[in-house]
């Protein structure tokens, strides 16, 4: 059976304000595919991801993501789009005054899930999935950086998204924790989800090879085509 594209960009321009950071971007991600985007700081990696989750508008070219047309996306539809995406940031972005469980419950309620029993079940499921079934009562400051990033991945999985966008997810982690996190992302991909990961950690590309695109000179170019 042919894989279904969860993301498609055709001749797209990525803008940051009035500045064009990437031109003629062509990118397609199939269901269950893992794609890296690499490049120097300021080369357009984060701007590309921000365009995909509608923090920046797509003003030229064509783009669709998890069934949404990025060129014709209405403001009111952005929250619904983001529910279909798991977004993982370098700096975790956890609420520091709430426990792990309260962080996850906050996201569920913010995305329209009000049934407490169902929410508890979802939270239990994602915490088990990221290997932290007993950490729900902990505050973020009581966790290591790797554990905090696992919580942010659990948060990204809450709405069972078909696509995860990860922006430098290992950027604040040491090499051992980075490797552990990559094993977790590989397990998530193996379950059928697609992953687009921006990174500057080239060592990970050697240990966990996948199709790789490079942001360079205002373009997005395929550099390596490998699969596990």
Q: What is the pTM of this model?
A: 0.90
> How many residues are listed for the chain in this entry?
228
What are the structural domains of the chain? 1-84+162-228 (3.40.50.300), 94-160 (no CATH)
pLDDT in single tens digits along all 228 residues of the chain: 345 799 999 999 999 888 899 999 999 999 999 999 998 888 889 999 999 999 999 989 999 999 999 999 999 999 899 889 999 988 878 999 999 999 999 999 888 888 899 999 999 999 999 999 999 999 999 999 899 989 999 999 998 899 999 999 988 888 988 999 999 999 999 999 999 999 988 889 999 999 999 999 999 998 755 544
Tokens 């690499």 belong to residue: 38
Residue showing tokens 């080239």: 202
Kindly write down the DSSP assignment for every residue of 73-109, as one continuous string: --GGGHHHHHHTEEEE-TT----TTS-HHHHHHHHHH
């Amino acid at each position: 059976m042919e894989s279904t594209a969860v993301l498609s960009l055709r001749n797209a321009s990525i803008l940051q304000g009035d500045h064009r950071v990437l031109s003629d971007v062509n990118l397609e991600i199939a269901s269950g595919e893992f794609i890296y985007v690499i490049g120097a700081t300021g080369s357009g990696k984060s701007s590309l991801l921000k365009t995909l989750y509608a923090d920046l508008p797509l003003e030229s070219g064509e783009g669709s993501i998890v069934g949404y047309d990025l060129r014709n996306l209405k403001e009111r539809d952005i929250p619904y789009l983001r529910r279909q995406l798991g977004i993982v940031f370098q700096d975790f972005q956890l609420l520091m005054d709430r426990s792990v469980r309260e962080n996850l419950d906050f996201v569920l309620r913010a995305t329209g899930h009000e049934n407490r029993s169902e929410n508890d079940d979802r939270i239990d499921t994602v915490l088990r999935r990221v290997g932290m079934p007993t950490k729900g009562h902990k505050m973020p400051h009581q966790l290591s950086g790797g554990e905090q990033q696992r919580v942010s991945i659990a948060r990204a999985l809450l709405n069972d998204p078909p696509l995860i966008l990860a922006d430098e997810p290992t950027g604040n982690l040491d090499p051992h924790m980075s490797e552990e996190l990559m094993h977790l992302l590989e397990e998530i991909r193996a379950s059928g989800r697609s992953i687009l990961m921006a990174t500057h950690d080239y060592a990970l590309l050697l240990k966990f090879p996948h199709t790789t695109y490079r942001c360079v000179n205002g373009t997005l170019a395929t550099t390596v085509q490998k699969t596990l």
